[in-house]
Amino acid sequence: MNSFGSRFRVTTFGESHGKAIGCIVDGIPAGLDIDIEFIQSQLDRRRPGKSKLETGRKEPDTIEILSGTFEGKSTGTPIGMIIYNTNQKSRDYDSVKDLFRPSHADFTYWHKYGIRDYRGGGRSSARETAIRVAAGAIAKLMLKEIGINIEGGISQIADIEGDITRFDFEYAKTSKLNALDPQVESLQEKAILDAKKDHDSVGGVVFTRATGVPIGLGEPLYDKLDAKLAEAMMGINAAKAVEIGNGCKSSKIRGSQNNDEIIADGFVTNNSGGVLGGISNGDTIEVKTYFKPTPSIFKEQSSIDKYGNEVVCKLEGRHDPCVAIRGTVVCEAMMALVLADMTLLNMGSKIEHLKSIYR
């Protein structure tokens, strides 16, 4: 289904080459300043065509708020938002309308629904993530009110991995590939451009973190914070793995190496990535999302068409050589949506909360 979240809930619509994409954000507390310039600034970060590292599709992605605010503030009613599609080139897709692009959703949509909007991937296109960014921006605004800040950047491109001790989130904001480690940025950029030159694509990893998170977010046992973050990140187009804190590495070491000891000042290490027992522990939340290389490449590939005939697939059009880059902003948005939801859900975990609000 097309809703995300339980109390802070986003429902989205729209296809790559339809009239518009949009969303309804429900559960926003009343009285929040809805800073539309901030929302637009987040979209601008995700907007395609800013550099040659990205698809050539150029769209202003102008967000319009249709409801839910009054005199600049949220009213407690749902905020409807819309982005009109302006730069679709549907004819680019005529050649692929009957075939299944390898490692794309064409095949599964066709079989599941028996019908397929082949223009630009339709609903399965990453185009939809633009509206997640808009919704996530509102979540960020809400979280900022209680001191939570979310940031992200590229930690790895191809096999070029940054060194976490050098990660600089301010730097990433100025980097055209959102690089966290300035020392490997140019190598990472080269890896992308090399792939592009070869009519190919390449994978990458986004590191997302939240600071200022209060202790207590996450609703065990089946709405744990880490489980919801994993769901949120794995649901982004092209994501294939998610790690919390030490992630995969923790499986290789011993308890005495992985445990975070505690002293009066707090946790000595943060191998947990800010989550214990599915609940935030007050430390920085750290999540890594692994993106596969863009499946749309410009090399010949074997495939079949919808009648089962073997065909050669040779794509045209405009595609990001590395989806992880623009995926950074989407990862931040999804983390914001999860934390906003958990912030609301946690209210009422103690009987004192009720008394403080109803008395």
The two beta strands, 64-65 and 79-84, are antiparallel
Closest distance of CB 66 from its own copies, Å: 5
Closest distance of CB 154 from its own copies, Å: 11
Looking at the Cβ atoms of 99 and 172, the one nearer to its own copies is: 99
Closest distance of CB 276 from its own copies, Å: 5
Looking at the Cβ atoms of 89 and 353, the one nearer to its own copies is: 353
How many whole angstroms separate alpha carbon 318 and alpha carbon 302?
20
Q: Tokens 């549907």 sit at which residue?
A: 90
Looking at the Cβ atoms of 16 and 175, the one nearer to its own copies is: 16
Closest distance of CB 306 from its own copies, Å: 11
Residue 219 backbone dihedrals phi, psi, to 5 degrees: -120, 90
Looking at the Cβ atoms of 49 and 102, the one nearer to its own copies is: 102
* Pair of tokens at residue 47: 């907007």
| 149: β partners | 211
Closest distance of CB 51 from its own copies, Å: 19
| Cβ(217)–Cβ(106) below 8 Å | no
* Pair of tokens at residue 279: 């609940």
CA-wise closest residue to 110 among 95, 97, 120, 126: 97
Closest distance of CB 83 from its own copies, Å: 11
Looking at the Cβ atoms of 174 and 262, the one nearer to its own copies is: 262
* Pair of tokens at residue 22: 């949009």
Looking at the Cβ atoms of 43 and 232, the one nearer to its own copies is: 232
| 291: β partners | 204, 239
Half-sphere exposure of 262 (CA within 13 A, CB side): 7
Instruction: Give CA angle at 176 (247, 290), nearest 5°.
Output: 20
DSSP class per residue in 57-95 = -------EE-SSEETTEE-SSPEEEEEE-----GGGGGG
Closest distance of CB 48 from its own copies, Å: 18
Question: Quick one: which H or E segment has residue 11?
Answer: strand 9-13
Looking at the Cβ atoms of 22 and 136, the one nearer to its own copies is: 22
